[in-house]
Amino acid sequence: MDILIWIGAAVSLAGLAGLGYCILRVLRAKRAGLDDEALRAEVAKVLPLNLGALFLSVIGLMIVILGIFLG
């Protein structure tokens, strides 16, 4: 079941990379000096990506735990 652990780790790292992308995107929007409405619109665009990346990280960690239990 070692392969399951490595697959889960890769999925989790992909989710963490997505979270990092979301953070960078919001930081760029804040530094751009957008007005309140434009900043809210940008954060609203990033929110689904953020939730998807968080979901991917959680699924990856679940796969790792499953691999540990089965191994």
HSE-up (13 A, CA, CB side) for residue 56: 19
Give the pLDDT of the chain (71 residues) as one tens digit per residue: 899 999 999 999 999 999 999 999 999 999 998 899 999 999 999 999 999 999 999 999 999 999 999 98
44: helix, strand or coil: helix
Amino acid, single-letter form, for residue 61: L
pTM as predicted: 0.87
